[in-house]
Structure 1
Amino acid sequence: MAQKLHSRVVDDVLTRVRTGGVVRLVGLPGSGKSFTLDKVVERLDEAGEGSLVFRANPGLADRPLAVLATAGIEVGGPVLSARVVADAVEQTTERLSRRAVLVVDDAERLDQASLGVLRTARARAGAPALLSTGPLTRHADRIFSTEAAQRVAVPTLRHDEVLAVMTSVLGGEVAQDAVARVAAKSGGLPGLVVAIVAEGVRRGVLARRGGAWSVVGDLWSPVLGDAVAVFTSLLDDEGFAALETLAVVGPQEVSVAAGLVTTEMLGHLEELGLVYVIAGPKAPVVAVFPMILGTYLESEAPAVRKAAILARLRASGDELPGRAGLSDPVAPGNLWTVDRRRAGAVLPQVIRREQDRRVVVTRRAWEADRTGTQALALLAALFDTEVDLGEMEDVVDGTDTRSGLELARLEVWRATAIAHIAGDVARAVESLERVREANPIFRGLLGAHIAYLQLMSGTMPDDSLFDVEPCDDPLNLEAANVVRGTVLVAQGRTSDAIALLTSFTPTSHHHRLVRDSSLCIALYLEGDTQGALELASRRLDDALDALDVAAIETFAYVVSLVLRMGARDDELQAHNATVLTLGAAANGHSQFLVGLLGIGAVDAADHGLQAYARSLAVRAREVSPGMGPFPGMSGELGLTFVESASTRPTPDLEASLVALFKDAVARGFTFLAVSLAAWIAELGGGSPVGPVLRGLLPQLQGEAGRLVAAYAIAIEEKDVETLQILEGPLATVGQMQYAVRAPLTAARLLRELGDAARGANLVQATWDGIHDDRVARGRLFAHYRQLVDLSVREREVAELVARSMSNSAIAEALVVSVRTVDSHVLSACRKIGVDNRDDLALAVRTWLAHH
């Protein structure tokens, strides 16, 4: 596993080193920078380029020139003299002349004498240099040159890479929630991942449960102190005290944090990589990185010092640790800028602190004034935490309601808790129906919430639930319109939905959340992909700024859906790197989380990350209340895809999909049914879905839905011409996944009809016609590459042809006869469907290459 981590960084460093100059490999302790440097050295040695490697360490810092011995340079004596230095320079220069690259691990720890020797020797030998350093080293970019060094940062691990490390340590399946919690705690630093996992197993808080490794307690242990304390070695006493202060007070707005530790110190800690700055509800928020470092500092801080720090916080106007978003925004031009790419590393701790703060503040307010207004705020805060049903019901029952509206909204919260925390939708519906009968003036509001619970748990609600009397409270009509619009989207009646959802402005936060998410999906199905993505991205940004978990899950799902079907895989993976970290902070009560996990699982499986894909799919199944109305909102479906991704389609898989398709049709989930039909048709097993799809077409208003249905029908009918025609329209409505698959499926059908040459021309034209660099062409062409099925030797020969080598030169290189090469070339051409070497070479360089 370790061989694969940071492989792209190794390639990047090698390329830069070979161009000359100085390359600086930057990373925190535990980031794997020394391992990455070793892999670069290994690759240099394998290529015969060689290297001279020096390893600085704290134990040698007070011994001038001692570090030179780590590379075999003999120092003439214990006393530092001009003769000793000159001899060291001469030896080093001679060694560098024979070995091309000067390599220094932990270069910031070099003593001045050693630095002088290495700088002089490198200048004389004209050798390139590769240094590994921490994020901030005074003048580090110019250690060996008057020119700035090329800086290459060692990235933290993505979720799938954290899973791979955990699997290699633990063996067996690892639950997605465990991956998210370890990733959040470690910050994705490999050394910390290993330490946390090992200690978690030793203490039994990381244990097998239900066949998978799961977290069953607090991952922090004082034993981890040694693994974390190395970060504090980067600090002097003042810096340590400042970081300890930030750890004790928790995530804070920049203005608050700067008041506690000074602006200059905050900037210094950020340069060191020990704090990150991300968006907060009103202004940027500072959090200690990695999270476990903050835990360590907070737990080790003496009680007296903690009390003093918290007293200073209260004196600044804050009452509670973790306060975020309650002070004035930072003025324009502030030192810090929010980098959303970094948000995933600290977002869970910021959200968890903010959730805890909201619970404390709202509970205090409710206990002082048990009115409906205070209770609703407390219930909203509790719902986003690991609360049990009893606690939610205690608040509802302990509130002095003063109006029918307060009672109705409190009972909606009770039902929501019953459905999502206890997992009993039927009981939740019964509860609301009783209240609805007793409070007819709010029949619309309560009926809408019954309808939404039913819809999101797999049942199309009855229209009678949306009945609203003209004299009813306006909130009744608002709720009914919001949920009715969502139902219309699920039914495929997107034009009607958009007209309804844009006819009013919701006054309730929850209603706005549902309205905007449904509107995004409707726009997407209508073919306005850009409009859907812009609205969903804007609302996701707002949700991240407000630390609103429900909204983050909701709009992250919509963004994932649009990016996935647009085949914009790089953007999707970057998006997931932030939002999937929320498994460490959120309970995940919604179908939108199921959909988010499901899409993440499908994407991971498509990229060969089977273990990670399965962990996401299993988590989706765990939190799924049943089949949801939109694509990806089925825990079973995601798991089915993942388990079939590494095998050829089987009759059992097709039978499962056909059953899900019929179920979606019966439930009235029209676009979900269309998506399943397209998948079934692509399998090519012959299961007839076309007649049912034709029956659904009259109610499909969205252009995207109609085109995808036409695509599925054309595959079933083996209509090559229609598939080619559909490519352009599908691309226009943002369905790039199907836009590319349509001509490739036509090419497959042509191959089956014996016209491989026409199929190959169509494949090449499709590849050449994709001008958007965001489209994941490699993934989309993978299935057709498998159909070609070149042998290992045929591929090897074809790749040499693509390098413009003649058959005789290939024969010499492979130590085979020219006749054998001729045979392989002809066989490769026949399988691909081309009739000459030029077209063979073009195919190998483009769609047939492994991307």
Structure 2
Amino acid sequence: MPDPSPGPVRSWPFTGRDVELRAVAAGLARDGVVVIAGPAGVGKSRLAREFAARSGPAAGVVTASASSADIPLGAFAPWLRVNGDEPVTALAQVGTALRAAGPNALLLVDDAHQLDTVSATLVHQLALEHALRLVLTVRTGEPCPEAITAVWKDGIGERVEIEPLGPDAGGTLLGAVLGGPVDAQALRRLHDTTRGNVLWLRHLVDGERAAGRLVLVDGRWEWHGPASLSPALEHLLAERIGTLDGDEAHALELVALGEPVGLGLLMGLASESAVERLAERGLVRLVEDGAREEVHLGHPLYGEVTRARMSSPRARRRRGELSAALRTAGSRRAGDDLRRAVLDLGSDSPPDATLLVLAAEQAMNMTDFVLAERLLRAAVAADGGFEARLGLGFLLGWLMRPDEAETELAAASEVATTQADRARALLARFHVLAFILDRPEDGRAVLAREGVDETGEPFPETTGLSAALEVGGNDVVTGLATAASVLHRPGVSSQATTWAAWAAAYGTAYRGGGRVRELVARGMDAARQAPETVAMLGNLGFADILEAGFRGTPDDARARLDWVEALPGGHGATWSALYHGRLALEAGQMATAARLFVSILPSFPGHGGGWTAWFHGMIAQALAARGDPAGALAALEAAENARHPVIRIGDIDVDLGRAWIAASRGALHDAVAAARRLAVDARACGQRVVEMTARHAAVRFGDRDQAEPLTELARVLDTPRARAAARHAAGLAARDPDALLGAADDLEAAGQFLAAADAAAHAAVAARDRGRLGDATAAAERAVGIASRRCEDASTPALELARAPLPVSSREREVAILAAEGLTNRQIAARLHVSVRTVESHIYRACTRLGLPDRATLAAAVAPVRTSSTP
């Protein structure tokens, strides 16, 4: 769908600064003076003006500038009655006028670092006297009058530092500005390019929309192609960089093309004093990396504008200088080969196919697949042979471009000279056929025809792939046994180990029993050994996230989150959004989970190798738990349409999505039945953790018959989450409010905040049934508090009872909700497997108890209208 309004957004909303607003308010209440400090473009003025707009009477707004700095009291001209007064007289005159506004009035002085000396003296006097409330903004790194710096140095007022917007706040802002979600890769690129500088972000977004590169596709914003600086943004950056002499320009160009550049290497190519001057002006910065100092750009956009200003011949010459220096110094650090290969691509140096393949592996290790493809194509063009074509073919398949992948993999098979190489090419071809092209039978035929040696024995590498297919198809018991046969065999190839470790890690996460982190580490070590498997790192790492959520030990995911957040490139952003989205779903932060899952859908077109249906299933759960059954139903339909013929490991979340949709519509009988079916199926597949998750979902929907099986699962699994689920089930079965509150404690400790809210809500109902109305009120308040504080105001059946208790039974409530959906009594009876007379009886008793005249008013009272909240 084309962007309907490609013009610039004239007014950006104010968002993402609640913490800073509170800090300014607290400082002003305490001292009467606050100085808001931060770099140019970070949003100091917008924050100050927003605060002023919310803060009652205002004495006025003073805006200093470079031009007014040469005029005594130039910024305070509106308060001067007569021009030409002596500075002392004028100072007294303006001071008197401002003091007349009273101590409760607010004066905003924007860009106070640019005030002239007389104006700065006036501001200092007003601050000392507390004559009125003062909010000042100053730019860090700029000269500032002593009278202004004294405000915070002498403790007259508090200085509040404003940092650039973080990725989450930036994503929220962009979603509000653009009127829709932004995909994960675009968000990462926009943040990495602007580093949260709102002014520069605004100009970049306006320019990229106008150029047709930031576009609306299927309801989501995507950014395609390289960034290009608009004239307005280039002008802002040029002002910030200022005038450079020849040595400074040379040094900055080298850093812009080779960042990061070792300090010693840069000093050998450019003037030492020039580098020092660039650092003093903040155009470059020094970063210690072990025993070596590296030079980075002060901001990514300094590199964009510097590269844009270089002619092609000069850029090639500079890259050649850096490459030659790196070649002379040798590859001493991780990434040096990658850096040299990238420089060679844009220089006059002859291509080195071996170096290009090695560099591509390093790029894929960082999930920078765009750079990896560029390097591998250059390696193929440089006659890199089998390794280059195999790596490129697998990468193209991973990027969901199967036709191109088939071409490269066929070429790789033709030049393979050993059995091991033929096996590697065969595995890559099967991956594309079965996982990406959804032709598993063709893939198996290729394996049967070509995956055997001269004696007819299967290649050992195919066993690891078989394990992955078995676990991916939800046959966990068989898959784990097959994976173990590979992992315990000496001398197995890295490719077989990678696939077997993937199967063992995911299978163990679903079965329970620990060791997932160890298996993920082994799989990652193996994946890094070959160009066609290193792209699987993000896929392998997700097993760590799954286990942390399933066990109820979210802190165990911290190391993996740190790893994924450090990954550069768009695909690093995709994996980061997936990891954080999954943990948000487990915690009950459903708005965040839905937003993050929606943001990664563009990276997985079609069946997405089995991922797409999984994502939609998790979106369905998140939307249903937000009280949006219509949006959840749409997500569930998308999940059904995207189901993969072979990879079904995400079916658990599709089936849970179906159960949650029934619950959100008030059909608790159907919700419990769906959860129970999933539990039975999971147990048959050896997925004991999935069984526990499904049975606990049934408990949250009100099922009182899960205490015994969940107690047995808690003994088998022995995890915090399983024990908490068993305690919840036992408390619900006994209708024991104290036990249910204990379960809420355990679930909170396990990071299951929405489940904890449900347990507290169940405690409220149990206490109410026992006549303990004070305890019921306290439990209900706790449930609602958890939901609002930790779960973004999610809505579940239990919480609805706690928020608006009505004296009706759960079955009477269920009947009323179905009536609200427009079902007749006969249709309700068929849905609930009861007689029409029973339905009529439930409606009659509920109406009598509530004093309502008919089923329509009952439906309105029990089931208020919900609106869609699809992100």
Is the CA contact (8 Å cut-off) linking 2:617 and 2:653 kept in structure 1?
Answer: yes
Aligned to 1:95: 98
Change (3 A) 1:186 1:484: closer
Aligned to 2:114: 109
Aligned to 1:494: 513
Question: Do residues 746 (structure 1) and 763 (structure 2) align?
Answer: yes
**Structure 2 letter corresponding to 1:106:** D
Shift of 1:14: 1.8
**Structure 2 letter corresponding to 1:225:** P
Change (3 A) 1:373 1:481: same
Q: What per-residue deviation string (whole Å, max 9, x for no partner) do you get for residues 230-257 of structure 1?
A: 2432332139947962784164256489
Change (3 A) 1:117 1:658: same
Is the CA contact (8 Å cut-off) linking 1:165 and 1:190 kept in structure 2?
Answer: no
Aligned to 1:215: 222
1:502-513 map, 5 Å: 507-509=526-528
Shift of 1:465: 5.0
Shift of 1:188: 4.1
Question: Do residues 410 (structure 1) and 425 (structure 2) align?
Answer: yes
109-118 vs 457-466, greater mean Cα deviation: 457-466
Change (3 A) 1:8 1:788: same
2:240 counterpart (230, 234, 237) = 234
Aligned to 1:681: 699
Please give the alpha-carbon distance, in whole angstroms, between the structure 1 residues aligned to 2:656 and 2:646: 9
Please give the alpha-carbon distance, in whole angstroms, between the structure 2 residues aligned to 1:695 and 1:119: 69
Is the CA contact (8 Å cut-off) linking 2:658 and 2:674 kept in structure 1?
Answer: no
Question: Do residues 703 (structure 1) and 719 (structure 2) align?
Answer: yes
Count of aligned pairs between the two proteins: 745
Change (3 A) 1:782 1:762: same
Change (3 A) 1:621 1:246: farther
160-169 vs 776-785, greater mean Cα deviation: 776-785
Aligned to 1:317: 326
2:31 counterpart (10, 17, 20) = 20
Q: What per-residue deviation string (whole Å, max 9, x for no partner) do you get for residues 581-620 of structure 1?
A: 9999999977789979987997899899999999999999
Shift of 1:95: 0.8
Change (3 A) 1:761 1:287: same
Please give the alpha-carbon distance, in whole angstroms, between the structure 1 residues aligned to 2:364 and 2:302: 14
Aligned to 2:47: 36
1:796-835 map, 5 Å: none
**Structure 2 letter corresponding to 1:76:** N
Change (3 A) 1:249 1:648: farther
Aligned to 1:826: none
Is the CA contact (8 Å cut-off) linking 2:758 and 2:796 kept in structure 1?
Answer: no
Aligned to 1:537: 558
Change (3 A) 1:471 1:30: closer
**Structure 1 letter corresponding to 2:466:** I
Q: What per-residue deviation string (whole Å, max 9, x for no partner) do you get for residues 118-150 of structure 1?
A: 445544666564222334223579724164374
Shift of 1:394: 1.2
1:376-775 map, 5 Å: 389-391=403-405, 393-395=407-409, 397-398=411-412, 400-419=415-434, 421-422=436-437, 424=439, 427-437=442-452, 443-453=459-469, 455-456=471-472, 460=476, 462=478, 465-466=482-483, 473-475=491-493, 478=497, 482-483=501-502, 485-486=504-505, 488-494=507-513, 507-509=526-528, 518=543, 525=550, 529=553, 533-534=555-556, 536-542=557-563, 565=586, 625=644, 634=653, 668-684=686-702, 690=706, 697=713, 700-704=716-720, 706-707=722-723, 710=726, 713-714=729-730, 717=733, 719-720=735-736, 723-724=740-741, 726=743, 738=755, 741-752=758-769, 754-760=771-777
SS in 2 for 1:494: coil
Change (3 A) 1:202 1:664: farther
Q: What per-residue deviation string (whole Å, max 9, x for no partner) do you get for residues 684-715 of structure 1?
A: 3x6x8849956994995343464355356447
Shift of 1:154: 3.6
**Structure 2 letter corresponding to 1:756:** L
**Structure 1 letter corresponding to 2:692:** V
Please give the alpha-carbon distance, in whole angstroms, between the structure 2 residues aligned to 1:614 and 1:283: 55
Please give the alpha-carbon distance, in whole angstroms, between the structure 2 residues aligned to 1:250 and 1:789: 58
> Any unmatched runs of 5+ in structure 2?
1-11, 339-362, 806-871
2:79 counterpart (49, 72, 78) = 72
The TM-score with structure 1 as length reference comes to: 0.67
Q: What per-residue deviation string (whole Å, max 9, x for no partner) do you get for residues 804-841 of structure 1?
A: xxxxxxxxxxxxxxxxxxxxxxxxxxxxxxxxxxxxxx
Please give the alpha-carbon distance, in whole angstroms, between the structure 2 residues aligned to 1:266 and 1:600: 50
Is the CA contact (8 Å cut-off) linking 2:251 and 2:266 kept in structure 1?
Answer: no
Please give the alpha-carbon distance, in whole angstroms, between the structure 2 residues aligned to 1:471 and 1:274: 54
Please give the alpha-carbon distance, in whole angstroms, between the structure 2 residues aligned to 1:740 and 1:162: 29
Q: What per-residue deviation string (whole Å, max 9, x for no partner) do you get for residues 35-76 of structure 1?
A: 2111121223x2x4x34421123454555532222x533463
**Structure 2 letter corresponding to 1:745:** H
Aligned to 2:62: 54
Please give the alpha-carbon distance, in whole angstroms, between the structure 1 residues aligned to 2:373 and 2:637: 30
Is the CA contact (8 Å cut-off) linking 2:435 and 2:610 kept in structure 1?
Answer: no
Is the CA contact (8 Å cut-off) linking 1:108 and 1:134 kept in structure 2?
Answer: yes
183-192 vs 274-283, greater mean Cα deviation: 274-283
Please give the alpha-carbon distance, in whole angstroms, between the structure 2 residues aligned to 1:365 and 1:664: 46
SS in 2 for 1:249: helix
Is the CA contact (8 Å cut-off) linking 1:26 and 1:134 kept in structure 2?
Answer: yes
Please give the alpha-carbon distance, in whole angstroms, between the structure 2 residues aligned to 1:75 and 1:258: 58
The TM-score with structure 2 as length reference comes to: 0.66
Shift of 1:190: 4.1
1:770-781 map, 5 Å: 776=790
102-111 vs 416-425, greater mean Cα deviation: 416-425
Please give the alpha-carbon distance, in whole angstroms, between the structure 2 residues aligned to 1:705 and 1:672: 12
Q: What per-residue deviation string (whole Å, max 9, x for no partner) do you get for residues 372-416 of structure 1?
A: 555555557666768654246415523632332222222222333
Is the CA contact (8 Å cut-off) linking 2:120 and 2:147 kept in structure 1?
Answer: no
376-385 vs 115-124, greater mean Cα deviation: 376-385
Is the CA contact (8 Å cut-off) linking 1:690 and 1:712 kept in structure 2?
Answer: no
Is the CA contact (8 Å cut-off) linking 2:471 and 2:503 kept in structure 1?
Answer: no
RMSD (Å), alpha carbons: 6.0
Is the CA contact (8 Å cut-off) linking 2:753 and 2:790 kept in structure 1?
Answer: no
SS in 2 for 1:39: helix
Change (3 A) 1:703 1:789: closer
Change (3 A) 1:291 1:131: same
**Structure 2 letter corresponding to 1:87:** A
Change (3 A) 1:51 1:678: farther
Please give the alpha-carbon distance, in whole angstroms, between the structure 2 residues aligned to 1:199 and 1:656: 49
Is the CA contact (8 Å cut-off) linking 2:37 and 2:137 kept in structure 1?
Answer: yes
Change (3 A) 1:286 1:455: farther
Change (3 A) 1:209 1:761: closer
The percent of aligned pairs where both chains have the same amino acid is 17
> Any unmatched runs of 5+ in structure 1?
330-348, 792-851
**Structure 1 letter corresponding to 2:91:** A
Change (3 A) 1:751 1:65: same
**Structure 1 letter corresponding to 2:417:** R
SS in 2 for 1:316: helix
**Structure 2 letter corresponding to 1:402:** T
Aligned to 1:11: 22
Please give the alpha-carbon distance, in whole angstroms, between the structure 2 residues aligned to 1:606 and 1:278: 45
Shift of 1:104: 1.7
Aligned to 1:152: 160
SS in 1 for 2:120: helix
Please give the alpha-carbon distance, in whole angstroms, between the structure 2 residues aligned to 1:722 and 1:482: 40
Change (3 A) 1:501 1:198: closer
22-31 vs 652-661, greater mean Cα deviation: 652-661
Is the CA contact (8 Å cut-off) linking 1:176 and 1:615 kept in structure 2?
Answer: no
